[in-house]
Amino acid sequence: MAGDTATITVTDATFDAEVLKSEKPVLVDFWATWCGPCRQVAPILEEIAGEHGDKLTIAKLDVDNNQATAAAYNVISIPTLNVYQGGQLVKTITGARPKAALLRELADFI
């Protein structure tokens, strides 16, 4: 599966259908191409998506191209990782974290 991505990309247009109406919890990575810490956390999120994708969907939302959604959830600093379940925001993780710390934060969902 080299080159395949385990995460999905969401936009302002698809956020409602892909995230809020998802059967599974969805972690949304609010990121931008110019954000160094975002680039650090991206491969970790890919690993988590590959290992736990059956229980948790991991989506990426580029804040530069999707400002409405970022503004709606008051995303000020990136990376911000928001977990949505049943259409509600249930957890916010701000900043890049090592994989072990992220797995601890996500233990309720995976």
Residues marked as catalytic: 35, 38
Spell out where 26-77 has E strands: 26-31, 57-62
List, in sequence order, the alpha helices (H) in 53-92: 67-72
Beta-sheet pairing, 80-85 with 88-94: antiparallel
Sign, CA torsion 59/64/68/73? positive
